[in-house]
Amino acid sequence: MNILNISTNPELLVVGTAYLCHLGFDVIAAHDLATVRELSRFVKKADLVVLCHSLTATQKHSISQFIRSRNPSARILELYLGEPSATYGTAIETVDFLPLMKTLARRAAPAFAACC
């Protein structure tokens, strides 16, 4: 599975990307729309796009529009903290992110999920 992980927070971007890579996914990281545009070739083959809660609603909207124009079949997972301001894909509260990661881990690497 190809994942495009997008966050304006450098620490969250590194940790999230490293964790997803450790699970066996092919992950590319981006911190804004300009970076996403530069990664246009990867965007076309991304199966999942993760929009971090660190992005503003305006950033999420712009990035989602660009993704949809290049890859309409990509799934968009929008993380938020508190109330979601707008949803452009599947929204998930950030506090629920660990269970999501464990679910992804079970699908990608059963041996890894057993140790979590």
Backbone angles phi and psi of 46, in degrees to 5:
-70, 135
For residue 8, the number of C-alpha atoms closer than 13 Å in the C-beta half-sphere is: 12
Tell whether 50 is covered by a domain: yes
pLDDT for 94 equals 58
Residue 116 lies in a domain: no
With CA atoms as reference, report the closest residue to 48 among 100, 115, 86: 100
pLDDT tens digits along 70-95 = 999 999 988 877 665 555 666 655 55
Contacts of 116 (CB under 8 A, 6+ apart): 102, 105
Question: Residue 6: which pLDDT band, with cuts at 50, 70 and 90?
Answer: very high
How far from 31 is each of 78, 107, 115, CA to CA, in Å? Answer: 15, 27, 31
pTM, full prediction: 0.74
> What distance in Å separates the CA atoms of residue 71 and residue 48, rounded to the nearest whole number?
10
Judge whether 95 lies within some domain.
yes
Residue 106 lies in a domain: yes
Residue 62 in any domain: the answer is yes
Number of domains in the chain: 1
Residue 70 lies in a domain: yes
Q: Establish if 64 belongs to a structural domain.
A: yes
Confidence (pLDDT) at 115? 34
Q: What is the CATH number of the domain that holds 66?
A: 3.40.50.2300
Note whether residue 83 is domain-resident. yes
State the Cα–Cα distance between residues 87 and 79, nearest whole angstrom. 9
Rounded CA Rg of the chain: 13
Mean pLDDT of the chain: 80
Domain that holds residue 85: 2-8+15-111
| Residue of higher predicted confidence among 114 and 58 | 58
Both tokens of residue 5?
A: 């992980």
